[in-house]
């Protein structure tokens, strides 16, 4: 039995909750799915998802609630989508709180503002995938990790150790392969 937490400070939490539930069922794995609002909630998790939303707001709330230090200290697998990808970085093009768990430089709103949001097919894990890009960032430089997907020569998905990050929103599709990948990483860390 594992526990997957979804950071519940700001962003699209309920969509990730449903995606994790579907992925666990598909993998036939028993797990608790927790909404993480406090450091105490985080202490019950084997893995954490940081969803899309406002990366600056989420970062400031992580600092204010001591969640940032707790995430770093707990040293569990983290999956970041969109704003979550930004927060996992060591550097971005805007001064804001970052977790620094993946050595990379990120361009916020790299594909444009909200009205420039789009869906486009990408290839990840050897198959086609519909990427939903909403004010999406991209990785300008990945110093430690492997590229899982690119779009227009920009890195939009990567793995670094036990962490995974996407510039797009996998929780907004019916395809659970990215959540499944993350759950398997969590399993490796608890075995």
- Dihedral Cα 82, 85, 86, 89, nearest 10 deg: -170
Residue 45, domain extent: 2-190
Is residue 112's pLDDT more than 90?
A: no
Mean pLDDT of the chain: 95
Mean predicted confidence (pLDDT) in 79-100: 96
Predicted pLDDT at 37: 95
Query: What pTM value is reported for the model?
Result: 0.95
Which region among 87-101, 105-119, 144-158 has the lowest average model confidence (pLDDT)?
105-119
CATH for 157: 3.40.50.880
Mean predicted confidence (pLDDT) in 170-181: 96
Predicted pLDDT at 99: 98
Is residue 11's pLDDT more than 80?
A: no
Is residue 140's pLDDT more than 90?
A: yes
Mean predicted confidence (pLDDT) in 99-112: 94
Structure token digits, residue 100 = 């620094």
By annotation, the residues acting in catalysis are 82, 169, 171
Q: How far, in Å, CA of 35 to CA of 112, rounded?
A: 30
Is 144 exposed, middle or buried, given 0-12, 13-18 or 19+ CB atoms closer than 10 A? exposed
Give me the number of domains the chain comprises. 1
């Amino acid at each position: 039995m594992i526990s997957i937490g979804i950071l519940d400070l700001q962003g699209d939490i309920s969509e990730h909750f449903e995606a994790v539930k579907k992925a666990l069922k598909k993998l036939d794995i028993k797990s608790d799915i927790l909404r993480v609002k406090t450091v105490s909630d985080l202490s019950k998790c084997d893995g954490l998802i940081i969803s899309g939303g406002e990366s600056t707001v989420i970062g400031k709330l992580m600092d204010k609630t001591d969640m940032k230090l707790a995430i770093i200290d707990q040293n569990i697998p983290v999956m970041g989508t969109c704003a979550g990808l930004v927060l996992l970085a060591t550097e971005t093009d805007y001064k804001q709180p970052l977790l620094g768990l993946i050595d990379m430089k990120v361009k916020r709103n790299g594909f444009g503002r909200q009205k420039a949001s789009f869906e486009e097919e990408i290839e990840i894990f050897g198959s086609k995938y519909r990427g939903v890009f909403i004010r999406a960032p991209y990785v300008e430089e990945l110093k430690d990790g492997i590229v899982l997907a690119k779009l227009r020569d920009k890195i939009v998905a990567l793995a670094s150790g036990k962490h995974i990050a996407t510039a797009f929103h996998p929780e907004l599709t019916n395809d659970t392969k990215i959540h499944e990948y993350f759950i398997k990483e969590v399993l490796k860390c608890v075995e």
